[in-house]
Amino acid sequence: MAEGARSDVRAPDGTRLAVYEWGNAAGPPVVLMHGFAQSHLCFEPQYRSALAERFRLVAFDMRGHGESGQPHDAAAYQGSRVWADDLAAVMAAKELKRPVLVGWSMGGRVIRQYLINYGEAQIAGINFVASLVIEEPRFRGPGAPKPLPDHLTLEAEIDVAIDFLDGCFGKKPSEAVFRRALGYNVRVPASARRAIAGWSTPAALTIDALRRMTVPVLITHGRQDTVVLPAAAEMAASTIAHARLSWFDDCGHSPFVEDAARFNDELAAFVMASQQP
């Protein structure tokens, strides 16, 4: 399958968001949301799979990432609703009716902000993937992104990206996959990385929003994750009483890549179950 159909959506503040779509236009919609310093390309194991035969797959590069706009003002990456408004803008522009939201790592944090600002009325379900949904510093592992100094050489920026990517995989991908990931990692400017590092949400606010959820929730996490520690998944699951927690025992921070076949099977089953009235 070729690169997904590309369109641009404007966020409320004017930032251009690059949106991609694959698969069955008549199928249940699924929004795939990437992590920090990544892009829509990380979901190749999903959009090049049988998932595209059954579902309408939509992914977008978050602001500052991939082909999307890269605002220079740090405030464009912070605040209580900027990321939520981006997601809402994509859902509205693509006319997505009750999609399932899949958020990997930072993508899950964006979904959290969406829930706080918009609630769950417009979605069918959520799959949190290796995400620090409730921001507790003790759940950040040794592989989590490190604070960046004010000035970095190009060589240092590349080294930072390599170190972070190494930590994203318990089972290393092919060299080709790693090279591509390195390419879209270094595409994210250091200024955007620093600004995103300054964005957080109070744990109490998150917990309140999660406890009010009624839509189906699947929490997917690798037991070997050193970026977001497994305890983060346990806390999220204990907060969302009806959530199902799926452990990938031999995977790290990227179970959707490290064990794509199992991940895709579980996602397909979850999407279908979420369509039930």
3-21 pLDDT, tens per residue? 679 999 999 999 999 999 9
Task: Identify the pLDDT of residue 118.
Answer: 98
Pair of tokens at residue 130: 């290796």
pLDDT at 58 over 90: yes
- In 146-260 the beta strands, taken as DSSP E runs, fall at 217-222, 244-248
pLDDT at 1 over 50: no
pLDDT at 2 over 60: no
- CA 106/CA 5 separation, integer angstroms: 24
225-268 pLDDT, tens per residue? 999 999 999 999 999 999 999 999 999 999 999 999 999 999 99
Contact 102, 33 (CB under 8 A): yes
Contact 61, 17 (CB under 8 A): yes
- CA 126/CA 234 separation, integer angstroms: 16
182-205 pLDDT, tens per residue? 999 999 999 999 999 999 999 999
- CATH class of the domain at 5-274: alpha beta
Task: Identify the pLDDT of residue 30.
Answer: 98
Please state, rounded to an integer, the average pLDDT across all residues of the chain: 95
% the chain with pLDDT above 70: 99
103-139 pLDDT, tens per residue? 999 999 999 999 999 999 999 999 999 999 999 999 9
Sign of the four-CA dihedral 219, 225, 227, 229: positive
- CA 214/CA 216 separation, integer angstroms: 7
Lowest mean pLDDT among 36-40, 77-81, 147-151, 235-239: 147-151
Task: Identify the pLDDT of residue 147.
Answer: 82
Tell me the domain boundaries of the chain: 5-274
Can you give the C-alpha Rg of the chain in angstroms? 17
